[in-house]
Structure 1
C-alpha cells in the first residue's frame, strides 16, 4: 500500500467514523464502483488518475449503467451492495467517500463529474450548488 492510499483511506475512515480501515475500504470500493458506472470518457479517466491506484481499476472497469441513477436510487443501490446497510447508513458511506473523492479531484474536475450525473449528486459529494435548493 502506498502512503497515498493509506491517507485517502484514513480520510474516509475519519469522515465516516468507521471502526476499521476495512470498513472504509469496503465503502470506498462499493461507492466508487457505482459512481464509475455513470461516468464516461476523459472525466472518468481524469478522476481515476487522481485517486489511489487501488481504486483506479474499480473506477475504469465498472459495470456499465443501463440508465442514470437518481441520487435516491444511487443510495438504494449502495445500501443493497453493502452487507447490513440501510439507506441512512449508505448515505453516510456515500458522503464519506464522495466528499473525500471530491477533495482529491479538486473543484474543476468535481464540477465536470457532476455535469455527467443527474441533478442532486452535488449534495452527495458535499458540494451543494449555490442558489439551488434540494
Structure 2
C-alpha cells in the first residue's frame, strides 16, 4: 500500500472550499436549551397575573399545568411537554390522562378546588394567567392542536378567539 505524499506548500495552503453544512438541530428536547427556562415561564405568569410574589406565580403555574396535563393526550401531550421548559414539561407529562376532558367551566372549577382559598373567579384568573402565556411559548400550530382536543371554551382560557368548529 502506497501513501501519497502531500506537497509541502499544500500543507500550509488555505482552504477555499465552503465548509460542510451543519445540520439544523432536531425539534424536541434540544430546543429547551435555547428556549425559555422554568424561571422565565414563572416570570411571564407572574407578570400576566399580577401576582405579588414569585412563589404565588409558581404555585399557580404548577397547579394549572398539572390540570392541563390530565386533559391533553397523544402526540399533542408529548409535543406540549417537549415545547415547554423542562420543569413544566415534566409536570404535564407526569399526570394521568383523564378519559374525557371537562368543559372549560368545569376545568376552572376543578382548579378552584385544588388551589387553597380559591374561588371560581380567582381560579379563572389563575387559569388564564398561565394558559394565556403558553401560545407564545409553544407556537400557534401546537396551540391549535391542543385546543382541538379540548371542548369548546378552552380557547378563551388560552387568550385565543373561540372559532366555531366545523360540523
Q: Give the TM-score, by structure 2 length.
A: 0.74
Specify whether residues 131 and 59 from structure 1 end up closer, same or farther in structure 2 by C-alpha distance, changes over 3 A only: closer
Question: CA contact under 8 A between 1:33 and 1:63: conserved in structure 2?
Answer: no
CA distance, structure 1, for counterparts of residue 144 and residue 111 of structure 2:
22
CA distance, structure 2, for counterparts of residue 73 and residue 25 of structure 1:
22
**CA shift digits 1:51-95 (9 cap, x unpaired):** 111111210120332432100100100000000110100000001
Query: Partner residue of 1:15?
Result: 48
**Does 1:29 pair with 2:49?**
no
Query: Partner residue of 1:114?
Result: 147
Specify whether residues 131 and 64 from structure 1 end up closer, same or farther in structure 2 by C-alpha distance, changes over 3 A only: closer
Q: Secondary structure at the match of 2:100?
A: coil
What CA RMSD, in Å, does the superposition of the two structures yield over aligned residues?
1.7
CA distance, structure 2, for counterparts of residue 98 and residue 66 of structure 1:
21
Query: Partner residue of 2:39?
Result: 6
Aligned length: 131
Greater relative contact order (Cα 8 A, min sep 6): structure 1 or 2?
1
Runs of 4+ in 1 over 3 A off after TM superposition: none
More helix by share: 1
Q: Which runs of 5+ in 1 are unaligned?
A: none
Query: Partner residue of 1:89?
Result: 122
